Amino acid sequence: MIAVLAAVGSYRQAFDDRLEGTAKALASAVETEIASHALALATLATARSLDRGGDLVSFHEQARQVAGMLGTRIFLLAPDHSLLLQTHLPVDAVLPDRPNIESDNLVRQVSDTARPVVGNLQRGQVTGRWVAPVYVPVIRDGQVIFTLGIALEADRISRMLVGQTFRDAGYASLVDGRGRIVARSAEPERYVGHTVRGWVTDGAQVGEAGTLRGPNRDGVEVVTAFRHIPGAPGWFVTVAEPLSTYYASLRGPLAMLAIGGLGAMVLALTVAIWIGGRVLRPVDWLTQKAERVAATRGAAEIIPHGPRVHVKEFERLRAAVLQAHVALRERAQAVAAGEARLRAVLDTAADAIVVTDEGGTMLSFNRAAEAIFGYTGSEAVGQNVAMLICTDYAAQPDVCLAAYLQTGERKAVGVGREVEGRRKDDSTVPLDLSIADWRDAAGECFFTIIMRDVSARKATEARQDILVREVDHRAKNILAVVQSVLRLTPRDQPGAFAAAETRVAGLARVHSLLAEGGWSGADLRTVIERELAAYSVVQGVPASGPAVLLDGPPVALAPTAVQPLAMVLHELTTNAAKHGALSVPGGTVEVRWTVGRRKGEDGLLRLRWAETGGPPVVGKPARRGFGTRVVEATVGGQLGGTVERRWEPTGLVVEIAVPVTRVLAGAEAAASAGTNPERRASAA
């Protein structure tokens, strides 16, 4: 019973883990999709054609090209929230005076906070299709002068969800902050726009991720895993499978356990009866003979010293025989119980366990081995184990097991390794194999081989590899979009065009850094060192040549913050190399940073860039360059922070302050902000 309960619990956990893993992967894909649209808008927002008194006709062409690459629509709104242009309509087309009430509130929020906003599902005013808008501010001189918007097509996200493989009637859904279905992998035309059941939205408030159970909109009991999407308040992905699927998949293992337990009991009883008969028959015969001699008082033996017959020896023999009978019976019971326990352990084990002799002939073959390879125990026992493993030594079944499994290296026995197994139907299965050798009382060598079917793990790894490649592909698409926008820079300004190319190269370096860390973020010091790799990072002031001084605690950056911060550092480094401290020998740049981690502190990541030893500073420049606008738009628009520049006599000083909740990774950001991650997820 304990083994059955343990097996059921383990299977249920594996079922839930699979659903949660799929939900996590889909949430990451949706987050990347939203981030790619927001980044394209943020880059487009720096276009010179949007400067005050700019050329909207020229900007319409730029926006139309970006929208064509993304396969969606981009629109521009004035400060009074009126529509100025839409990329799918001519620049002189008649547009609605104002967006709908919900969009109007989102545009007002962007104007008030100067930060990007992701809206909930709504009907497009012109197309009538289901979309979710993303708005980004256009900032000039610290003021929001326009709002750029882009439409996330519900149909496109549904097609992305369809790419995931589900069992039977399983499906995935994307839910917005109002509990409405944005996209669905199955029958999206039927469900998109409807609200999910109340138990789903209530359960999704308990944390960032989890597993729920209840009836869906069709009344079918389902097991649902959910995962919230960072950057989209209240949005989450659900992956559901019918509860009947779980029970159906559980019947097979339970039936095998029941059959195995019954077989073990029958086998133990048969062995006990056989051993009892073999042991008790001669003992009973000897006991009966001794009792007959004792009953005649030794009449069969005459003692010559008198008429009395002594039978003490027979009484002692009788007592000894009875004692031996009891001992043997107890030992037989103990052996039967031990064999029953051993067989129960072997047959309830999840891994294939095979015992062979030194030549590789199989002596034992448990239930899990039967399930994995398709052979019955009677078919496998007596055969060579080479038939189960795809190896070059399979053609030599009489070779020593240690030789053909460990390639002649005796020290490899006991070391786990991955091999390819061969089933009865000649199909292959990936196995995690480990071997232990032992000897019996007679000194004969045996091997116990444990083989675990790692097909599920391999499939998970394959899905993860696909997901990583997808993330890599999408990131490169983002860079392609950025590069395309930058190439729209007027070609009659070679310096601006070359600077645009170097910015794209900087983004590519950060992309490589994120890919190396599995898209889990990066350390701030590492990001700074990558951007300043061409200069010496020293502990003190150098004797000659420009150098960089770094000082600050370890800071784990969130993946979404690495590229914006790297872009800011790239602009500062480029400016210092052209006009500042890094342009002359002996110049120095000091980069220092602090984090408000404790309760009561400001909760900001503060970064100070100070240049000394460079060319004389004559004061604030007369005009703001493109790099300055990129820094301000990136820090203010993408990171929600502030930038302060001071042209002191010793050189340029730049101080940047960004909320830790926008740049730090996961638990560290929550700890720095003095909040509980689960509570923040619930509030979201």
Residue 277 CB burial class (10 angstroms; 0-12, 13-18, ≥19): exposed
Segment (H or E) for 574 = helix 559-579
Which residue type does 226 have? F
- The residue length of the chain stands at 684
Q: Which CATH architecture has domain 349-453?
A: 2-Layer Sandwich (3.30)
CA 241 to mean position of chain CA atoms: 20
Element (H, E) at 329: helix 312-348
Asked if residue 273 has pLDDT above 90, the reply is no
pLDDT in tens, 27-53: 888 888 888 888 888 888 888 888 876
Q: For 211-240, write each residue's pLDDT tens digit.
A: 998 998 888 899 999 999 988 888 999 999
Please give the CATH superfamily to which domain 520-683 belongs.
Histidine kinase-like ATPase, C-terminal domain (3.30.565.10)
Q: Where are the domains of the chain?
A: 349-453, 520-683
Evaluate if residue 260 carries a pLDDT over 90: no
Q: Which residue has the higher pLDDT, 501 or 163?
A: 163
Q: Is pLDDT at 484 greater than 60 in this prediction? A: no
C-alpha separations of 203 from 95, 179, 681 in Å: 42, 12, 12
Reported as a single tens digit per residue, the pLDDT across 102-128 is: 777 888 888 888 889 998 998 877 677
> Is residue 331 very low, low, confident or very high in pLDDT (cuts 50, 70, 90)?
confident
**pLDDT range class, residue 608, cuts 50, 70, 90:** very high
Check residue 46 and give its pLDDT: 86
Angle between helical axes of 494-516 and 524-531 (0-180°, round to 10): 140
Per-chain mean pLDDT for the chain: 78
Which has more confidence, 273 or 520?
Answer: 273
Element (H, E) at 421: strand 417-422
Contact 154, 182 (CB under 8 A): yes
How sure is the predictor about 278, in pLDDT bands with cuts at 50, 70 and 90?
A: low
**Rounded mean pLDDT, 344-356:** 83
Task: Compute the average pLDDT of residues 59-72.
Answer: 86
What is the pLDDT at residue 305?
45
Q: Which backbone phi and psi does 132 adopt, to 5 degrees?
A: -125, 115
> Is the pLDDT confidence value at 419 over 50?
yes
pLDDT band at residue 355 under the 50/70/90 scheme:
very high
Lowest mean pLDDT among 10-19, 120-129, 370-379, 478-487: 478-487
Whether residue 398 is predicted with pLDDT greater than 50 in this model: the reply is no
- Taking the CA of residue 466 as centre, how many other CA atoms within 13 Å lie in the half-sphere pointing to its CB? 12
From 77-81, 466-470, 541-545, the region with the lowest mean pLDDT: 541-545
pTM of the model: 0.40
Q: pLDDT at position 166, please?
A: 66
User: Do 349-453 and 520-683 come out as alike in CATH topology?
Assistant: no
List residues bridging with 352 in a β-sheet: 451
pLDDT at 251 exceeding the cut of 90: no
Instruction: Identify the pLDDT of residue 616.
Output: 85
